[in-house]
Amino acid sequence: MLIVQKFGGSSLADAARIRRAAQRAVHAAEMGNQVIVVVSAQGDTTDRLVSAAAAITKDASAREMDSYLASGEQMSACLMAMAIGNLGRTAISLTGWQAGILTDDCHSDARIQALVNNRILQELACGKIVVVMGFQGVSAAGDITTLGRGGSDTTAVALAAFLNADKCQIYTDVDGIYDRDPRIFPDAVRYDAISYEDMLTLARQGAQVLHVRAVEMAQKYQVTLQVLSSFRPGPGTTVTALP
Ligand code: ASP
Ligand code: MG
């Protein structure tokens, strides 16, 4: 099977968490799967980068901001590849442009258009776990773009769609999708499964768990998503076309 595993910022916040995420990827590979890992930046890195830029100027160009913010995922992806290597498997990190993720040129809110090279497949064929930097791509002009805050989910779904993956697992700090915010409402109920439409409604209402565009893309390409906790075992929530 070809599996895409996406890890959010809180799932990568420190060395121990990166190691734990790396173990999941290695485990999936050891079960005989090809594994693509998509990473967000560690913890609140992206927020800190936004603040650091704001301390320099209030009107940075969107192009420079995109190159700057993309560095967060560059750091986490390289650490992830190192952690996987440390567990005895070969991994390679790829930037958005190395992975061939072509977007439009709408800086800070770019849309993925296509996968324009075979690098990921080539590296998988060599037996490597491929770690792709989420949230970033490249425009036709060759500039780094970003996909909007929370956009790593969209990277994961796009890769699963374009490469026809068998599974797209989104590892996060909650153990699935709830009908209400479980941090505020203790009696919130977790869905075992939810339709794309209902998930889109929740995401558009501000549920932070999945990026709206990721759900739209999952629906368009019929990618079944599993939302799982990085920290607790459990069935999570499956987002799919329900009858
Ligand atoms: N690191 C980016 C953000 O914080 C992208 C992501 O986390 O999905 O928005
Ligand atoms: Mg993030």
The pocket of ion ligand 2, defined by CB under 5 A, consists of: 9, 40-41, 46
Task: Evaluate if residue 187 carries a pLDDT over 80.
Answer: yes
Burial zone of 8 (CB within 10 Å; 0-12 exposed, 13-18 middle, 19+ buried) = buried
Around ligand 1, the residues with Cβ closer than 6 Å are 8-9, 40-41, 46, 72, 134-135, 149-152
Query: Which residue's C-alpha comes closest to atom 8 of ligand 1?
Result: 150
Nearest partner of 225 among 205, 204, 198, judged by Cα: 198
Q: Of ligand 1's atoms, which has the minimum distance to the CA of residue 151? A: 8
Q: Atom of ligand 1 at shortest distance to CA of 148?
A: 9
For CA atoms 112, 114, 116, 120, give the dihedral sign: positive
Instruction: Indicate whether 1 pLDDT > 80.
Output: yes
Kindly report, residue by residue over 225-241, the tens digit of the pLDDT. Answer: 999 999 999 999 999 99
pLDDT over 90 at 75, yes or no: yes
Which band of pLDDT confidence, cut at 50, 70 and 90, is reported for residue 180? confident
Q: Please list, in sequence order, all residues whose beta carbon lies within 8 angstroms of the beta carbon of residue 52, skipping any fewer than 6 positions away.
A: none
Strand pairing partners for 226?
A: 169, 238
Q: Which two tokens stand for residue 105?
A: 């040129």
> What is the pTM assigned to this prediction?
0.97
